[in-house]
Amino acid sequence: MRAATIRDGELLVEEHPAPEPGAGQVLVRVRAAGLNGGDMMQRRGLYPAPAGWPPDIPGMELAGEVAAVGPGVTRFAQGERVMAIVGGGAQAELALAHERELMPVPDALDWPAAGGLPEVFTTAHDAVFTQAALRPGEHLLVHGGAGGVGSAAIQLGAVTGARVTATVRNEGGREQVAALGAEAIAPEAFAERGPFDVILELVGAPNMPDNLNALATGGRISVIGVAAGAKTDLNLLALMGKRARIHGSTLRARPPEEKALAARGLEREVLPLFDRGAVRVVVAETFPLDDVAAAYDRFAEGGKLGKIVLTL
């Protein structure tokens, strides 16, 4: 099979042996695979794949058709449309996923949308609802609203009845982000727009002091991105006085059981929204597998709205 391959920090397309599904595993013929910040970090040698996943084939999410199943698989059959978060290897013609981590692709979605859905919507749903427990009527702040996770979180917050504010660095993209259901503002202006009940932090340390200052009493800060820095000083008296919570989260390194729970939550609470047209996967651009290096370069440029997706 052909696959995107990391060699000394460069991205190539090379031939690899086709994987064989083991017990509980499904072999997926990949039709689309979204790019994520973790892929960019893996290319730079900063975010290696978990043990048991291909170390040189990137890709954390995929959508495609079931090509074969391993022993004991009962949930999916050959030819069915599926999607999943995986530990790696998604940017290839064939990839493995455990059946517990797979989800059915909603009928309303084409392949690029399905390939860009699992990572960002699972991350947003898990961080904003499962962990931060956003409720209808509360005020949600999304930092980095133009990205894949940001665009997902905005829509999920809005459709469940929250008031949503989003920071967007690119002034030209604020109108598009606002159309997803948020008040789109410049990053420098967010501290004065509170109080916020939940803050989804996708940028990192520089925002944290103002995040805490703008947080409502009983507020929650969910940290899932630190691209702008990982270390900061915090006023713990302010944290105590507001009875606030700060928590962090990643998905890739979770054990299969926890990923399966996140997938079931998404199936139950989010996937029906796609067939109703209540939310959508925002796809900025698609690239064929042969242009994988160009896709990564486009991701690194920034200034996009939504996902970059490889198509196969």
The answer as to whether 271 is a domain residue is no
Sign of CA dihedral 267, 273, 277, 278: negative
Query: Rounded mean pLDDT of 287-305?
Result: 95
- Chain centroid to Cα 217, Å, comes to 28
Check whether residue 160 and residue 196 sit in a common domain. yes
Predicted TM-score of the model (pTM): 0.94
pLDDT for residue 29: 98
Instruction: Count how many domains the chain has.
Output: 2
For residue 178, the SS3 value is helix
Confidence band for 94, pLDDT divided at 50, 70 and 90: very high
Query: Rounded mean pLDDT of 237-264?
Result: 89
pLDDT in tens, 50-86: 888 999 999 999 999 999 999 999 999 999 999 999 9
pLDDT in tens, 254-279: 888 899 999 999 999 999 999 999 99
Q: Is residue 308's pLDDT more than 90? A: yes
Check whether residue 78 and residue 138 sit in a common domain. no
Structure-token pair, residue 183 = 């008040």
Query: Rounded mean pLDDT of 196-213?
Result: 93
| CA–CA distance, 185 with 97 (Å, rounded to integer) | 39
The answer as to whether 253 is a domain residue is no
pLDDT for residue 152: 97
Q: Give whole-number Cα distances, 138 to 16, 219, 266, in Å.
A: 49, 10, 21
Q: Is residue 13's pLDDT more than 90? A: yes
The answer as to whether 243 is a domain residue is yes
pLDDT in tens, 169-179: 999 899 999 99
Query: Rounded mean pLDDT of 6-21?
Result: 95
The answer as to whether 133 is a domain residue is yes
Containing structural domain, residue 244:
120-248
Check whether residue 199 and residue 307 sit in a common domain. no
Domain of residue 150, CATH code: 3.90.180.10
